[in-house]
Amino acid sequence: FDVDKVYSMETWSKYTIDGGKTWKNIGNNDRHVDDHAFWIDPNDIKHFMIAGDGGVYESFDGGKHYLFKTNLPVTQFYRVAIDNTEPFYWVYGGTQDNSSFGGPSRNLNNDGVSSCDWVTTLGGDGFWQAIEPDNPDIVYSEYQYGNIHRFDKKSGESINIKPQPRKGEDNYKWNWNTPFIISPHSPTRLYIAANKVFRSDDRGQSWKVISDDITAQIDRNTWPVMDRYWGVDAVVKDVSTSLYGMAVSIDESPLKEGLIYIGTDDGLIQVTENAGKNWTKHESFPGVPENTYVSDILSSKFDENIVFASFDNRKRDDFKPYVFKSTDKGVTWALIAGNLPDKGTVHTIQQDHINPELLFVGTEFGIFFTVDGGKIWTQMKSGIPTIAVRDIAIQERENDLVLATFGRGFYILDDYSPLRELSPELLDSNTYIFPVKDALMYVQKRRGGYGNGSNVYIAKNPDFGATFTYYIKEAPKTLTEERREKEKELIKEKKPIPIPSLEELRAEKNEVKPHLIFTITDENGNKIRKLTTAISKGISRLTWNLRYSGTSPVNLKDEKFDPLSMGGDGMYVLPGKYNVSLSQYVRGEVTELAGPVEFIAKPLKNTTLPADDRKDLVEFQQKLAELSRVVNGAEEFAYELMEITRYDKQAALRSVGSGTELFAEIENIEAQIENIIWKFNGQTPKASQEENIPALPSINERLNSIIWVHWRSTGPVTQTQRDVYNILKEEFPPVLVEMKTIYNTSLPEIEKQLDELSAPWTPGRIPVWKEE
């Protein structure tokens, strides 16, 4: 160790080698500035890691070069916006010191959404973004202090459209996180707010000032800090300190054009009902300290008189959840914080577009929702860390809830619509299947790039297919669980615990665990697929990948029966209407629980040469699948016949009374089976041979040439594929007949002779006991 070498974290981190007398920059070669944390290897002082606004970097040569840790989703988003891109919408957001971005919520790739799928819309610190509803190539982004830009996603060009002071007018006061919106009544109209409010009707080409100063116009230098007043010479006075006295939140009613709400950082809510001609100031809110920061404001999607607001007073060591509702355009307010945690500042609020009582709030410690307008709030925890949720967006077409977190990137809850139906009545029912969203059908793309290591971060796509959301009030218990619960009660009561009988223990051991069974039928009532899953109490989800059941031979894991293992998948089903029903298996009985619920499998239609007749395609694929089922099973059975024959051959050898004739018969059968296996797989070349020996194609060679291509295709069946299928229809049946003859006639005759010789047991034979 070198006690005189010390590292100090700051914007450009420094180090000293003389105990602090002199300092030098560590170096920022390809590394972000604004450092916060530092680790040094106790065994190698040239090996260290630095963490800051840009993420985590590692150096092995004292800071000359750095490795960036790209697999850490720790982005700090201030705001989130979504567009209406088809088939998958994009998500946009501005970050703390890491630019503004936009990227797909999901894509067609089988691996998911990677960093290369995202687009940088603007540099600097990023905040609000907005996308023109009918033209997703027009994106508005900003960096700090109101520097709004119009970004052309198609070309990558951008232009600064920030409003500028008029002649003779003082500079405007812009918040670090300046609020702006696209009007819901005109896609080319923008509103942006500083200490004044501005409107543009031509995408920011020109602006009109539509308000006077809308703040409380407080000189914060008149406020004491640490119980005293400070002069201009105070150390770092106003350095890295937020400006004060400006707008921080904005919204326009989607129901009434020109009804605009502005929230300020000094505790005001300003309202205009005529697009800025007149403004009404509101400065008193029940229970909220004066001059509290208005963190968010939201117009109702159902009633022009209703507006919601949240307040953030944590700078005064007050972390209460201030969230309010007004039914008279902001004149009076009622607290709707309900049972929200006492300490959990509310940053943002959002309202469902179908159920007016379904609200969401983002707090310092997570996301909460209410289905009764704010009386009772429930935290959403599954998969979401305890993190500040700064903003919430709803993609109405997809019913998706999109969160901007400050430190864990974006989160998307796909299809939150089941929350709309939550009620005491539903939760009191035993089982319920929620309405099923239409399922898009397409073949997932293979991006490639396998083997990139753990450093590459890829956000997984939602499960492909039709997702079933269901509710189970209580999960049935196994015999073992029931016994143990009874034993716990006896222990509490300090009573003796009875020992189960052997029959009871055997019943516990052999019990098939309770499980759910999802049965999918087509619109004609034909059963298409069956899925099983474990039973869990509460709301759960299961996704069907829109494929038929697989036809591959059954394999057991650890040689045990598993009710949750349903084998592989088959080909895609036909687009159209389907139904799902739910039942449960408990102790040998199957009970119907819920359904049927209808849904639609809808093709994306993104192919260049689709099949003209999708029904004909699926029928051909099903014929292929059935042929594959029989061929694969027959091949496996051929190997089983070979194994039985070799056991019989060994038993004949060990039998004292056997002669050469029996041995020869078995060898003849063995040769027949070997010839059958050769017909399935052909002649396997030696490793030294570069080419296969010229021979007729094997059964599997022909089958594999036509079946696997259909696994990833919705294109038309080729004539070549039909020809190969017809060849297989002709060549395979004789092989199957030959196998049946061996199994039903030849081998039973061999086994009969072995029994007469009292030969040792072999697989497939029931031992014969010759009593004296």
437-455 pLDDT, tens digit each: 999 999 999 887 677 788 8
| 321: its two tokens | 């959840």
Strands 90-95 and 100-104: antiparallel
Question: Does 530 share its domain with 567?
Answer: yes
Q: Is the pLDDT of residue 772 over 70?
A: no
Using one digit for the tens of pLDDT, what is the confidence trace for 600-645? 999 999 999 999 999 999 999 999 999 999 999 999 999 999 999 9
User: Is 406's pLDDT higher than 80?
Assistant: yes
Average pLDDT (502-519) is 91
Judgement on whether residues 735 and 637 belong to the same structural domain of the protein: yes
Within-domain flag for 567: yes
Q: What is the DSSP string of 584-619?
A: EEETTEEEEEEEEEEEEEEE----SS--S-HHHHHH
The pLDDT tens digits of the residues spanning 702-727 come to: 999 999 888 888 999 999 999 999 99
pLDDT of residue 383: 86
Q: How far apart are CA 682 and CA 663, in angstroms?
A: 27
Q: Which pLDDT belongs to residue 651?
A: 87
CA distance 172 to 194: 6
Asked whether 573 and 601 are in contact (CB, 8 A), the reply is yes
Structure tokens at 222: 């008149």
Cα(200)–Cα(198) distance, integer angstroms = 7
E strand or H helix at 577: strand 576-586
Quick one: 533 and 462 in the same domain? yes
DSSP 83: -
Residues 6+ apart with CB under 8 A from 119: 101, 102, 103, 153
Mean pLDDT of 99-104: 97
My answer on whether 666 and 636 are in the same domain is yes
- Are residues 100 and 93 in contact, defined by beta-carbon separation less than 8 angstroms? yes
Is there a single domain that holds both residue 504 and residue 579?
yes
Please state whether 663 falls in left (phi above 0), alpha (psi between -120 and 50) or beta: alpha
Cβ atoms < 10 Å from Cβ of 709 = 12
Strand residue runs (E) in 663-761:
none
pLDDT at 107 (0 to 100) = 95
Please compute the mean of the pLDDT values over residues 490-499 and round it to a whole number.
92
Beta bridge partners of 367: 362, 380
531 shares its domain with 593: yes
572 assigned to some structural domain: yes
Looking at the predicted structure, is the pLDDT value of residue 162 above 90? Answer: yes
Q: Is residue 515 part of a domain?
A: yes
User: Could you tell me if residue 233 is left (phi over 0), alpha (psi between -120 and 50 degrees) or otherwise beta?
Assistant: alpha
pLDDT band per the 50, 70, 90 thresholds, residue 563: confident
* Phi, psi at 372, each rounded to 5°: -125, 30
Q: Please report the beta strands in 32-179, taking only residues with DSSP state E, as ranges in sequence order.
A: 35-41, 44-52, 55-59, 67-68, 77-82, 90-95, 100-104, 113-114, 119-122, 130-131, 138-143, 147-152, 158-160
The whole-angstrom separation of Cα 546 and Cα 533 is: 17
Q: Which of 556, 582, 603 is the last residue of a domain?
A: 603
662: exposed, middle or buried (Cβ count in 10 Å: 0-12, 13-18, 19+): buried
The reply to whether 526 and 579 lie within a common domain is yes
Of residues 279, 216, 278, 284, the one with CA closest to residue 246? 216
Query: Which two tokens mark 63?
Result: 């800071």
Tell me what the pLDDT averaged over the chain comes to.
Answer: 93
Considering the domain boundaries, does residue 726 fall inside one?
yes
CA angle 94, 208, 163 (to 5 degrees): 40
Q: Tell me which of 36, 68, 100 is where a domain ends.
A: 68
Determine the Cα–Cα distance for residues 566 and 264; give it in Å rounded to an integer. 58
Range(s) of the domain holding residue 556: 458-603
Buried/exposed 406-444: b ≥16 CB within 10 Å, e otherwise: bebbbbbbbbbbbbbbbeeeeeeeebbbbebbebbbbbe
Number of continuous H segments (helices) and E segments (strands) in the chain: 8, 46
Q: Who's near 704: CB < 8 A, 6+ residues apart?
A: none
Give the pLDDT mean for 577-606: 94
Look at the chain and count its residues: 772
Q: Which of 603, 633, 651 is where one domain is finished? A: 603
Yes or no: say if 199 and 275 are a contact pair by the CB < 8 Å rule: yes
Task: With CA atoms as reference, report the closest residue to 358 among 375, 341, 381.
Answer: 375
SS3 116: helix
With 0-12 CB in 10 A as exposed, 13-18 as middle and 19+ as buried, what is 174? buried
- Residue 689 pLDDT exceeds 60: no
Residue 421 lies in a domain: no
Residue 751 lies in a domain: yes
Q: Output the six-digit token pair for 93.
A: 């957001």
Among 140-144, 661-665, 688-692, the minimum mean pLDDT is found in: 688-692
Q: Do the domain assignments include residue 378?
A: no
pLDDT value of position 688: 54
CA 655/CA 390 separation, integer angstroms: 82
Q: What distances in angstroms separate CA 286 from CA 27, 117, 416, one per listed residue?
A: 52, 47, 32
* Residue 630 DSSP one-character state: H
632 and 526 co-located in one domain:
no
For 712, phi and psi rounded to 5 degrees? -125, 35
Range in 71-85, 130-144, 441-455 the model is least confident about: 441-455
What dihedral angle (degrees, nearest 10) is formed by the CA atoms of 662, 666, 668, 673?
Answer: 170
| CA-wise closest residue to 334 among 279, 298, 288 | 288
Q: Which two tokens stand for residue 411?
A: 């989160």
Residue 122 has pLDDT above 70, yes or no: yes
Residue 319 contacts by C-beta under 8 Å, 6 or more apart in sequence?
313, 342, 343, 344, 345, 364
Contact by Cβ (8 Å): 478, 534:
no
Please state the separation of Cα 695 from the chain's center in Å.
50
| pLDDT per position as a tens digit, 20-51 | 999 999 888 889 999 999 999 999 989 999 99
- In this prediction, residue 250 carries a pLDDT of 98
Q: Tell me, what's the pLDDT at 691? A: 60
Domain count, the chain: 3
* Statement to judge: residues 491 and 598 lie in one domain: yes
Which one-letter amino acid corresponds to residue 512?
A: V
pLDDT at residue number 756 = 86
| pLDDT reading at 690 higher than 70 | no
Q: Same domain, yes or no, for 628 and 577?
A: no
Tell me: do 483 and 598 sit in the same domain: yes
Verify that 580 and 599 share a domain, yes or no.
Answer: yes
Residue (of 90, 122, 115, 93) closest to 103 by Cα position: 90
- Give the pLDDT confidence of 174-233 residue by residue, as tens digits: 999 999 999 999 999 999 999 999 999 999 999 999 999 999 999 988 888 889 999 888
In a domain, 508, yes or no: yes
